[in-house]
Amino acid sequence: MIVVTTPTGSIGHQVLARVIEAGAPVRVIARDPFRLSPEVRDRIEVVKGSTDDPGAVAEVCAGADSVLWVLPPDPHAASVHGHAIDFTRPLCDAIGAQGVRRVVGVSSLGRGRARKAGQVSAVLAMDQLIESTGVNYRSLGMPGFMENLLWQVGPIRDQGAFFGLLPADHKGPACATRDVAATAAALLLDDSWTGQDDIALPGPEDLSPDDMAGTMSEVLGRPIAYRQIPAEAHRSQMLGHGMSGAWVQGLLDMAAAVEAGIYGSAPSGSRVACPTTFREWCQDVLRPVVAA
């Protein structure tokens, strides 16, 4: 039995589709099962609940061979670190009690380098907590997702611009969620691996925001510019949208840590594991959404 958490999330729904297609028995945990299509619900087991509910997590993990663990964000959390630990502790309790054999976790690049890195530090603490159970574990280390730009479809379409905290010329990695989902699904379907290890998925290239703006301009057929937001202006904007002070500070700390180089240099082999280029992603994903 394979367990998929966040089955309607950006990564979870793609992993779920892949393991269903492979014919594996699948169980999911979902706050609202009716967000899953009827076709999907007919082919899986569904436990209604949240991943921070010990009872629901114990139920979904009962007899499970492998679990996909994705930490959902909570922009209203009083503590970024506390949110990560509170959500992960029920999984750790279930690992031993329910006999879970393998866990695949969606994590971050930066292990061993992240200090005061906001949400990155929190998800790496999640890794350590899961590893402390002794379960066979693979931590998938990613940078930012290309899909994060979908939150800015409005400004891209209406203003010809997107915004961020990093300097316009700061080069760094980015990956597509479909590549992460492919790696995660392959691990969930493979019952031969043991031990604990990190798998880096940095994407195929390092790009700056200005590089991305150039590619977006070419693919969308009109000028797109990048605008850096001052940290304090970003803080005010996010607080105005209802985010907690702790969550906003975490985002600022994470951006500062990324600018300082926490993602490091990616081994050439890890580039192959996450092959979707930013241009391909813009053609396949961004352009249809902007045109819709």
Average pLDDT over residues 175-203: 96
The mean per-residue pLDDT over the stretch 248-265 comes to: 92
Tell me the average pLDDT of the chain: 94
CATH number of the domain that residue 18 is part of? 3.40.50.720
Predicted pLDDT at 264:
79
Domain assignment present for residue 235? The answer is: no
For 70-85, write each residue's pLDDT tens digit. 999 999 999 999 999 9
| Residue whose structure tokens are 């490091």 | 264
14 part of a folded domain: yes
Binned at pLDDT 50, 70 and 90, residue 272 comes out as confident
Over residues 223-233, the pLDDT tens digits come to: 999 999 999 99
Domain membership flag for residue 149: no
- Total residues belonging to the chain: 292
147-168 b/e (C-beta count within 10 Å ≥ 16 → b)? bebeeeeeebeeeeebbbbbee
| Other beta carbons within 10 Å of 275 | 14
pLDDT at 15: 97
Number of structural domains (the chain) is: 1
> 10, exposed or middle or buried, with CB in 10 Å at 0-12, 13-18, 19+?
middle
**Rounded (10°) CA dihedral 140, 145, 147, 150:** 140
What band does 267 get if pLDDT is binned at 50, 70 and 90? low
- State pLDDT tens for residues 130-178: 999 999 999 999 999 999 999 999 999 999 999 999 999 999 999 999 9
- The proportion of the chain whose per-residue pLDDT surpasses 70, expressed as a percent, equals 99
Q: Is residue 278 part of a domain?
A: no
Residue 31 is classified by DSSP as: S
The sign one gets for the Cα dihedral 18, 20, 25, 27 is positive
In a domain, residue 81? The reply is: yes
Coil, strand or helix: which one is 18? helix
pTM score of the predicted model = 0.93
- Domain annotation covers residue 90: yes
Q: What is the residue range of 64's domain?
A: 2-144+176-202
Structure tokens at 188: 């969930």
Q: Is residue 268 a part of any domain in this protein?
A: no
Q: Is 253 within a domain?
A: no
Q: How far apart are CA 263 and CA 22, in angstroms?
A: 33
- pLDDT digits 0-9 by tens, 109-128: 988 877 899 999 999 999 99
